[in-house]
Amino acid sequence: MERHVSKDIEHLLDGAYGAIKGKRFNYLHGLSNHVIHSLTIYRQKEILNVAIIVYSLSKIFEKERYTKQKNILQFTKKTIELLDKARTNLKKQNIAYFKDAINSLIKLIRSFTKKAEIYTHDLLDIAKIDKASHLYRHGMSLGEAAETTGTSKWELMPEIAQTKIHEQIDKINIKDRLNLIKELFK
């Protein structure tokens, strides 16, 4: 793993660890979007997995339907433990142990949210779609964003349409376009 990629992931893991330990759960959602730029450039699965984990954790700790679960304290304790294991091993460049901790976090989230039976779709799948829409907003094509996150274009299109991302693309007026073309052919 390239060092600048691992530094981005370290920052994300450190932030998530501190936010959960300090009960600053509202910080998690924005933190999960922090690495989207890196993901558009490097397209590393590890970046995506950590972004999905942090986004899912933000939803779990923000929503009362999750925080009222009887095993939320055990879930929180185990989450902090696994985040610490992931960030410690990444800093030591023990990539196999880092990946093991990330996979354990994904299993923990899937197990916890499955018991809550709140969404018709798995929370981790919802997180993938959210991250894919952010990748699309950062300039990836719909197909690239879907492929990078492991979702389908069909799953992503309703999110894109609902958020009207496609309408937020900067529009250059005709006069500016003509001037640009004239400059290019001088």
d(CA 62, CA 84): 21
For 69-89, what is each residue's pLDDT tens digit? 889 999 999 999 999 999 999
Confidence category of residue 164, pLDDT binned at 50, 70, 90: low
Average pLDDT over residues 119-130: 74
Residue 32: name the closest of 113, 124, 108 by CA.
124
27-66 pLDDT, tens digit per residue, is 998 888 777 777 777 777 888 889 899 999 999 999 888 8
Length of the chain: 186
Q: Which residues contact 144 (CB under 8 A, 6 or more apart)?
A: 135
Q: Cα–chain-centroid distance for residue 143?
A: 18
- Predicted TM-score (pTM) of the model is 0.72
